[in-house]
Amino acid sequence: MSRKKRKVFKKHSKTIQDLENKILQIFNQNSNKILNYKQIASSLEIEDSNGRNQIIKKLNDLKNQNRLEEVSRGKFIIKEQSHYFKGIVDITSRGNAYVVCDDLEHDIYIPSRNLNHALHNDLVRVYVYNRKKNKKQEGDIVEILERAKTEFVGVLQLSKNFGFVITDDPKMYSDIFISQSKLEGAGAEDGDKVVAKITDWPANSKNPFGKITDVLGKPGDHNTEIHSILLDYGLPYKFPPEVEKYAEKIPIEITDKEIVKRRDMRKDLTFTIDPADAKDFDDALSFTKLENGNFEIGIHIADVSHYLKENTILDDEAYDRATSVYLVDRVVPMLPEILSNNVCSLRPNEEKLTFSVVFEIDDKAHVIHKWFGRTVTLSDQRFTYEDAQKIIENNTDDQPKNDIKTAVLKLDELAKIIRKKRMKQGALSFDKTEVKFQLDDDFNPIGVYVKESKDANKLIEEFMLLANRSVAEFIGKQRDKNKEKTFIYRVHDEPNIDKLIALQDIITKFGYQIQTDTKKHTTDSLNKLLADVHGKAESNMVETLTIRSMSKAIYTTKNIGHYGLAFDYYTHFTSPIRRYPDVIVHRLLQHYLDGGKSPNSEIYEEKCKHSSEREYVATKAERDSIKYMQVKYMQDHKDQEFIGVISGVTEWGIYIEIIENKCEGMVRIKDIKSDYFIFDEKQYALIGQVTKTMYQLGDEVTVTVKNTDLVRKFLDFNLIE
């Protein structure tokens, strides 16, 4: 009886994929060790001679590239040299990436094959091939030092024994594999929108392995999509139960013992002015006319730090969140509702603990005296912006006046003087329109409108700016042993000249100009641009482009002033219910009022960095919620024609912003049938090759809705030619 021949399976009989990256990763993880080919093969679970020969050859290649050092025959160690850098990964829409390094002038280009499983915003170690000046720097990622995120929102697609989560994140280039064992007990069905956590990513796998941590619901469902936006940015949509319980046990009674520690301003005429749908009232104004003819004006801010004690689970949660998130249909608060909407909120006819800046101001809006400290106040009335605006607009001699109306009118008068002075000093006038939605009971958008800032809004804005500026000056100008005291500033650097030149190139198409030869000319011409474009069809686009040309405002302990406001000193003091930096400012201000010494600035700089990052993430989530609601609104208007402005031109199509509702979508170049169009980068235009028809940035066009994608939050338009 003949024996059956045994089949012999050899591992890695073919070329090993990404072998160079795999070897470098092993050396980087063992940077102080000397390794030979056998140890590398063992780490990679390579057992056949063909695979080992590939390793030997690759080790010698890396030695010749000067990336490994052969310390003795066949034994290697990684060469620590100036070719290695740390940086943050920025994945492009095409799947390649750039690594942004603080130590390098230019970003490092990373082809997709060299990503080594790095994801968007990961902190990585990168090897740079070319460091010559004026040449593109290319490299590969040799080690992932820290993942930016491991949880992703996506749609589950089930097969018989496994599943894949197709992520919503356009920067996530690989679907997440979910094994049968990880699916069991998850409660997810095919087509559900879920949260998947990456648990492993084997070196030889194209896809990361993961598990389902949350089932959100069906794609397109309103709550599912809103929760998806929050979770996609790592933002919570509910408080942990232990945090809620802690908040509920905080003593809220205002005792006589506490009142005597404070300036009692309960008898002063006090009121709030807020949006109609606001529930958390951070700030109130008090107004008293003094015997000398001047005015005592108090800016009273909720004393959150009295209730939010350091080193508690509630404070830790507030710090982690760092900001409230304002989506189109809800607020995700920094603090539990019992604090944000009740205990701390300056509701009418309720005694409240506040932290105040009290000014004596004359009739010309000169500040004669300032006082800083803790107070107890009582708001006499709650105004909406619309209520206050009616008082301002109906200011006629035949209208009956009462104390509050008199106060509102005088505050409006003073605010306009303060604003005029601020603009004269070089402040920029950004009155950007805000998109708002009318929602039905099921949160479906039944209307879109554009909200503009009016006198009542500017009244509050000017006095909040005055308070913020005054607190920053009060601390910033003090010295502790000839050193500046540690404090948190809100800073805004001067705009980058290259960005201003790029802005000039675009606005020239509309007949506008800016001058950039001096700081004053730059500011004056930017303000003229914003004034000239206001109310025009292209206003929102030009205002958006102008804002993008500006530096980003951040929190830091290193004061450089605020360019946009033209302030040498500025901070955030007026919104501690919704911004954690304001809470820190309150604590530091009281610390210095009590005669405390300057604390370690490095600790506070880290808090600033965290707060700036969380603010940026919250802003992106807020924008995504607006895009989502715009797409949802346009789903019901597919047969309607809209007039829009070309807000962007690319090689694959033109972006159109509808004038009446600011919804933006794309007309793809393949869908323009009248001609063959070529992208002209210099003219920001698509040009027909036969007809020479031009679609240029800023042109008005008519469009209809072709397709709406709620998951991707994207609109496709048809061009009416």
Give the DSSP letter of residue 340: I
- Model confidence, pTM: 0.84
Residue 220 pLDDT > 90: no
Residue 432's pLDDT band (cuts 50, 70, 90): low
Residue 130 pLDDT greater than 70, yes or no? no
Q: Which helix (H) or strand (E) holds 606?
A: helix 601-634
Give the model confidence (pLDDT) of 452-487 as tens digits.
889 999 999 999 999 999 999 999 999 877 789 999
Handedness of CA 341, 342, 345, 348 (dihedral sign): positive
pLDDT, residue 609, reads 96
Average pLDDT over residues 373-401: 87
Nearest-angstrom CA–CA distance, 281 and 568: 28
Quote the pLDDT of residue 562. 96
Q: What is the per-residue pLDDT for 2?
A: 42
pLDDT at 434: 80
Residue 132's pLDDT band (boundaries 50, 70, 90)?
low
Burial bucket for residue 375 (CB in 10 Å: 0-12, 13-18, 19+): buried
pLDDT band at 6 (very low <50, low <70, confident <90, very high): very low
What's the chain's average pLDDT? 90
At residue 98, what is the residue type?
Y
What per-residue confidence (pLDDT) applies to 479?
84
pLDDT at 309: 96
Whose tokens are 């104390």? That residue is 403
Task: Report the DSSP beta bridge partners of residue 298.
Answer: 286, 358
Per-residue model confidence (pLDDT) at position 399: 59
128-132 CB contacts, 8 Å cutoff, 24+ apart: 128/83, 128/84, 128/85, 128/104, 129/83, 131/82, 131/83
Q: Give the strand pairing for 351-361 and 295-302.
A: antiparallel
SS3 label, residue 138: strand
Tokens 């800073």 -> residue: 491
Count of other CB atoms within 10 angstroms of residue 535: 9
- In the predicted model, is pLDDT for residue 622 greater than 90? yes
Give one DSSP letter per residue of 258-290, joined into a string. Answer: HHTTSEE-TTSEEEEEE-TT-----EEEEEEE-
Q: Average of pLDDT values for 557-577? A: 96
Do the Cβ atoms of 72 and 82 come closer than 8 Å? no
Give Cα separations from 475 to 113, 423, 486, 589, 591 (angstroms).
Answer: 52, 24, 9, 7, 11
Amino acid 379 reads S
Give the number of other Cβ atoms within 10 Å of residue 247's Cβ: 22
* Neighbour count for residue 243 (Cβ, 10 Å): 18
pLDDT at 82 over 60: no
Query: Within its chain, how far is the Cα of 465 from the centroid?
Result: 22
Which tokens sit at 435?
Answer: 């998109």
- Nearest-angstrom CA–CA distance, 22 and 141: 10
Q: Which residue has the higher pLDDT, 192 or 684?
A: 192
Rounded CA separation 320/621 (Å) = 16
Taking alpha carbons only, the member of 119, 278, 312, 262 closest to residue 198 is: 119
Task: Give the H/E segment covering residue 479.
Answer: strand 479-480
- pLDDT (0 to 100) of residue 333: 96
- In the chain, the percentage of residues whose pLDDT exceeds 70 is 96
Banded model confidence at residue 10, pLDDT cuts 50, 70, 90:
very low
pLDDT per residue as tens digits for the range 177-203: 999 999 988 889 999 999 999 999 998
For residue 263, is pLDDT > 60?
Answer: yes
- From the list 64, 66, 63, the residue with the least C-alpha distance to 35 is 63
| Structural tokens at position 684 | 């920001």
Cβ–Cβ < 8 Å for 234, 245? no
Residues linked to residue 164 through DSSP beta bridges, in sequence order: 157, 177
515 three-class SS:
coil
| Domains defined for the chain, CATH in brackets | 19-78 (1.10.10), 84-146 (2.40.50.140), 151-219 (2.40.50.700), 243-429 (no CATH), 467-626 (no CATH), 638-719 (2.40.50.140)
pLDDT digits (tens, 9 = 90+) for 653-675: 999 999 888 899 999 999 999 99
Give the integer Cα–Cα distance in Å for 669 and 663. Answer: 19
Residues 12, 46: contact at Cβ < 8 Å? Answer: yes
Give the residue-averaged pLDDT of 516-533. Answer: 87
